[in-house]
Amino acid sequence: MAAMPSFDERERYLRELAEVLAIPSVSSDPFRAGDMRRAAEWHARQLAFGGGRVVETDGQPIVRADLPGPPGAPTLLVYGHYDVQPPGDERLWEMPPFEPSVRDGRIYARGATDDKGPVYVALKVAEAFGREPPVGVRFLLEGEEEIGSPSLPAFLERHREELAADLVVSADGAMWRPGEPSIAIASKGAVGVDLTVTGPGSDLHSGRHGGGVQNPNHALAAILASLHEPDGLIAVAGFHDDVVPLSDADRAAIAAVPFDEEDYRLEVGVPELFGEPGFGVLERLWARPTLEVNWLAGGGRFTVIPREARAFVTCRLVPDQAPERVVAAIDAHVRRRRPPGVEARVEAIPGAVRAYSIPPDHPAVKAGEAALRVVYPDREPLLVRIGGTLPAAAIFEDVLGLKTLMFSFSTSDERLHAPDEHFRLARLEEGMRAWAELWKRLARKWY
């Protein structure tokens, strides 16, 4: 078996990470196709020792590489993504989002923690082991995670044989908190809908026509308000039908995770916390479904009754909610609650994903815990859940029948998707050591 590699090239690591963070690989921006390919090619060059290459898909390219392991060793499919979220309002960034800067032991840039920093950790572990990893390793780095991985299922189907593996290990999926090493054993699913309310044939002068027609803004507001009860319970009939109730063991495991609700309230900056009754805040964040209104539009700051009002609504799902059944329940609710004088239409957004989980006693989880104990000997690893969605984990299970171990060295406080996103530089070496330990443990016939 290969010896433990050395990770003592900090200056080069920082230089290389800054290089890739400077590439604005925003998958949702159609004008960034050239930058997407540049990012893919950068990662392929990093994996040249394993035959790193850029492979075409129906959308953005995928980066692949293969490192054979010793005879009889298991094979891991290492997953990550090189695409990033848009920077948003760049005036809210202390430094430009694609000009990486280092401050207080952190590197700041869009994509630093989601997911280029954590992916870089996996790349450098493979590089350090060279051509003698303790397990077989197949890399698959995609460029569409931030838009729901729409091309991934078809790619997996077409390349099923060459992607044969025993387990997926994901560099994506943040740890809970920086001072507490953790492994996420579940993530929520997601589905989004556009809700459109239409009224008159065109915008109308509100003075001439106010009081004579239904205002689509008013109607939309009424529909959206009806989605929840005043106490926060989702009021859509059928929404909870397929939800697997939390067991006593589930609730005990969540309760065992250190969490101060008042600290959380102060962190998010609200006067008081609010949500579904009967559950603690952490239970709601990790293990209960949600329905959120993310965007509203209609009319403008002038005296008009708009022809149309629109909203974007997303739901985070838990086992065993099927996205299509949730959309159907929302559609039926909207039809029932539509005020007179308007039409209302619900359209599902492509890329819905079901929830994902891995049993806490799965051998891969146990190997991950053991690896973390080596790197953090004074802290017992936590098993946590993610309120966000990792589309690929559910896709790998559906298409390839593989479980995914989330082994990211991002942490949830590093402003993912927000201004001043960053990645702690100490996590580079910590992550490399832990990934190396993980590979050694997974080589021991865990399956």
19 and 156 in a single domain? The answer is: yes
Let me know if residue 79 belongs to a domain.
yes
Beta-bridge mates of residue 64: 53, 140
Instruction: Name residues of the chain where pLDDT drops below 50.
Output: 1
77 and 133 in a single domain? The answer is: yes
Residue finishing a domain among 331, 348, 365: 348
User: CA 14 to CA 10: how far, in whole Å?
Assistant: 6
DSSP state, residue 216: H
Beta sheet of 290-298, edge-to-edge order:
290-298, 308-317, 189-198, 343-348
Let me know if residue 2 belongs to a domain.
no
Let me know if residue 268 belongs to a domain.
no
What's residue 1's pLDDT? 44
**Rounded-to-10 torsion of CA 199, 204, 206, 209:** -80
Tally of structural domains, the chain: 2
DSSP state, residue 177: B
The C-alpha angle with vertex 176 and arms to 174 and 182, in degrees rounded to 5, equals 90
Rg (CA), the chain: 23
392 and 371 in a single domain? The answer is: yes
Q: CATH number of the domain at 176, please.
A: 3.40.630.10
Pair type for strands 136-142 and 75-81: parallel
76 and 155 in a single domain? The answer is: yes
List all residues 6 or more positions away from 23 whose beta carbon is below 8 Å from its beta carbon: 35, 38, 39, 42, 98
93 and 230 in a single domain? The answer is: no
DSSP state, residue 93: S
150 and 208 in a single domain? The answer is: no
Name the amino acid, one letter, at 109. A
pTM reported for the whole predicted model: 0.89
217 and 300 in a single domain? The answer is: yes
Let me know if residue 4 belongs to a domain.
no
217 is in which domain, residue-wise?
189-243+289-348
100 and 176 in a single domain? The answer is: yes
327 and 383 in a single domain? The answer is: no
H or E stretch covering 183: strand 182-187
Let me know if residue 271 belongs to a domain.
no
224 and 295 in a single domain? The answer is: yes
95's tokens: 């430094």
| Among the listed residues 305, 294, 304, 308, the one whose alpha carbon sits nearest the alpha carbon of residue 220 | 308
What's residue 5's pLDDT? 65
Residue finishing a domain among 302, 327, 348: 348
User: CA 239 to CA 66: how far, in whole Å?
Assistant: 43
Residue finishing a domain among 300, 332, 348: 348
166 and 202 in a single domain? The answer is: no
Helices (H), 162-280: 206-209, 216-225, 248-255, 261-268
Let me know if residue 280 belongs to a domain.
no
Helices 33-46 and 10-21: angle between axes, nearest 10 degrees: 160
Residue with tokens 């997974």: 442
Q: CATH number of the domain at 293, please.
A: 3.30.70.360
Q: How many CB atoms lie within 10 A of CB 445?
A: 9
- Give Cα 402 to chain centroid, integer Å: 18
Q: How many CB atoms lie within 10 A of CB 254?
A: 20
322 and 223 in a single domain? The answer is: yes
| Among the listed residues 111, 119, 114, 127, the one whose alpha carbon sits nearest the alpha carbon of residue 170 | 119
Asked if 187 contacts 393 with a C-beta cutoff of 8 angstroms, the reply is yes
Let me know if residue 298 belongs to a domain.
yes
Let me know if residue 52 belongs to a domain.
yes
